[in-house]
Amino acid sequence: MDKNDGKFYIDLGWDDNHVVPEIVTPEVEFIFRRMTEVAIFESALQPGEVVLDVGCGRALDCVLMSESGAQVIGLEPSRVMLRHACDHVKRSGARVMLVRGIGEDLPFRSASVDKVICKGAIDHFADPVRVLEEIARVLRADGKMVVAVANFGSLGFKLGRAVYRLWRRSGRKNHNLKMPWEVPADHTTRFDYVLLKRMLDQRFRVCKIIGVSLLFGVPWWGAFLARCPREVSRTILALLDKAARYFPRLGDVLVATCMPRVSQ
């Protein structure tokens, strides 16, 4: 989605090639992997369940979820991403249905889906509240939704902004560098713990919110981890990830598990 002059436009040619940096440092690899692991684990998929992935992108998660025996449907508005998704599904041989559509108007009957996962997508939609309403509508009364989103109120981003302010005061130039805590142009909403909880509470009973990873965005953090022996960096990241689970407000990613408040 893109915002211009107060109006939202759907980018039907959106591509995710810019999302992952060319140089992947240990914490970047870790955060993407753990976000997927936690989101799928919290979904607790069962064979035969109908599972909807809203904003499925390349359908990487769809293929993983299909291994549980669930009937997986991937929904994506971008024709470019759908081509990527089709290619990946074909290569994997997985049984996944791909549908072109938008989260604000899900093309499914009410109470027809057992589980919904929305990972790294809710902050791209023009109207996240409307998307959550639609998810609540299509979920069965005993269904479950798992949402994973970047936390712009994380400890890492707060420390990063503080260090950057000191850097600027010292007279150093930033050379127009894009800072990780700056909301990307293709995001419509700057989520943090409070905003996510408030939006979810309108239509869902929030079972839990888990923090994933810690300290992403701290200057030179990735470079430090890259210089550490691989096992050392993995241990450090795993320990910080455990800390984030106990203090989700500070985590780099928020993973919320919810159930509908009422039968839709």
What digits encode the pLDDT tens for the residues 200-226? 999 999 999 999 999 999 989 999 999
What's the mean per-residue pLDDT of the chain?
Answer: 90
Nearest of 209, 210, 150 to residue 180 by alpha carbon: 150
**Average pLDDT score over residue span 1-13:** 56
What digits encode the pLDDT tens for the residues 108-139? 999 999 999 999 999 999 999 999 999 999 99
pLDDT at 165: 83
Of 15-19, 28-32, 114-118, the range with the highest mean pLDDT is 114-118
Percent with pLDDT over 70 in the chain: 88
Rounded Cα distance, 112 and 115, in Å: 10
Rounded Cα distance, 200 and 255, in Å: 12
What digits encode the pLDDT tens for the residues 161-192? 998 888 777 766 655 667 788 888 888 899 99
Angle at 216 between CA 251 and CA 170, to 5 degrees: 120
Comparing 135 with 16, which gets the higher pLDDT? 135
CATH pick for 2-260 out of 3.10.105.10, 3.40.1410.10, 3.40.30.10, 3.40.50.150: 3.40.50.150
pLDDT at 172: 61
What digits encode the pLDDT tens for the residues 63-91? 999 999 999 999 999 999 999 999 999 99
| Contact criterion met (CB below 8 Å) for 154 and 251 | yes
138's enclosing H/E stretch is helix 128-138
| Contact criterion met (CB below 8 Å) for 54 and 48 | no
pLDDT at 20: 61
pLDDT at 187: 84
Statement: residue 5 has pLDDT above 80: no
Confidence of residue 245 (pLDDT cuts 50, 70, 90): very high
